[in-house]
Amino acid sequence: MNIKPVIFGGDILAYSYARCMHEAYGVRSLVICSNDVKMVTSSKFLDAIVDHGIEDTAYLLGLAKKTVAQVAAAGDIPVLLGSGDWYARFLCEYQDELIAACGEDARCVVPYLPLEKFESIMHKDEFYAACDRAGVDRPLTFELDMSTATELPSDEELGLGGYPIICKPSDSAAWHYAEFPGKEKVAEIADRAGLEKMFEAIKGSSYKGGLLLQDRIPGDDTVIYSITVFCDRGDVRIICVGHVLLQDHDPSALGNPVCIMSTVDEPCHRHLIDAATRLVKEFDYHGYGNFDVMYDARSDTYRFLEMNARPGRNSYYLTLAGENFVKPIVEQFVEGKTVAKRDLDRPFLFKVVPTKLVRDYVDEPLKSKALALVARKAHGCPTFGARDTFAHWLWSHITYFHYLTKFPKHYLK
């Protein structure tokens, strides 16, 4: 059995896929990306197709069908993987066409949900309804339908208890393609004037999905948790919980965790596993998913913000916790095996930033715990440690150490 991973997108998850596929199966991946991210494209674990045209869905579909057909004709099984919500949604929507492009006698593996189920999970309003059914805490939220909204409700109608509030899209895939001044992945709105300005900007854009206005849960980056699950029809087979210590605060990447620590010795560990397990049963979930959670000290509750119906960009932390994160994909979707059930409890520190930032920006007692993991060499970065090319080593280090100048510009303690 010869597999050929075909990866859409050129971020750190794309590299993580290629590295882990090579380490587990000795294969070379094919990455299709819109920009030449040198840290990725210089790797010996992959071949890269850099094409700015793939931001157009019709163009991407044509290129993808041609590519998978060529892979299948060479006698390999294409395994299609996406980095980012928009590529995951593309694979969900067009999986039947991509499979058909390989021909009747060839296999093509697309380890993603049907589009309808993907959208029901990714749209936050339906996710929050599932939280309510499962007895899982979530943030207080008001949703605006931007396809019909002409004016903002009053603050009293919003019922969020005042400012600041959080503003973010319900449909992350559609948000990716929208362009307007002040666009952020997640925006913190300080007052009514700021909300009105944001509303008018979004109204004038292509985004017509739901706009979520939420109570802002107080705290720094360390109130955030990440939970990754791999499921078989609603049954959790693999689960790993991480405690976010630092996020990227650059507006273009706001909310992306850059340092995550295992929670195996935290009192919340089992509670978070139990809550995530109840939620995936609500969706009869299949494959990889990732939850974002925040601890609300006001009520001593862990509030589930969203579920990404795909592997998260930091999925390499599962590898650090003891499970090469691509192996369940191959075992279940390619080999047809039942993935062995296990909680990943090896202590780890995932970080894509220098240790100096942990020392400077993380408070005690979490700082000491993180630095102890560094001292024990129980830490890792997906772009380091592999026997890759010198060019990859160089670009990875440039990206890594750039955080020393980039981070202080945007981080507010």
For residues 252 and 349, which has the higher predicted lDDT (pLDDT)?
Answer: 349
Q: How far apart are the first and last CA of the chain?
A: 52
Complete domains list, the chain, with CATH: 3-112 (3.40.50.720), 140-215 (3.30.1490), 221-382 (3.30.470.20)
Q: Work out the pLDDT band at 1, boundaries 50, 70, 90.
A: low
Q: Letter for the amino acid at 136?
A: V
Task: Kindly tell me the sign of the dihedral angle through the C-alpha atoms of 169, 174, 178, 183.
Answer: positive
Residue range 36-66, pLDDT digits in tens? 999 999 999 999 999 999 989 999 999 999 9
- pLDDT reported for residue 292: 95
Give the three-state DSSP class for 184: coil
- pLDDT reported for residue 377: 95
Among 173-187, 240-254, 372-386, the least confident range: 173-187
Cβ neighbours for 147, distance < 8 A, ≥ 6 positions apart: 208, 209
DSSP class of residue 109 equals B
- H/E stretch holding 296 reads strand 287-296
- pLDDT reported for residue 412: 66
Q: Work out the pLDDT band at 254, boundaries 50, 70, 90.
A: confident
Give the three-state DSSP class for 154: coil
Residue range 121-180, pLDDT digits in tens? 887 778 899 999 999 999 988 888 898 888 898 998 888 888 999 998 887 778 878 888
DSSP class of residue 150 equals -
Average pLDDT rounded to a whole number, residues 279-287: 94
Nearest CA-CA partner of 292 in 254, 327, 319: 254
- Single pTM value for the model: 0.90
CA angle in degrees (0–180, nearest 5) for 401-404-410: 130
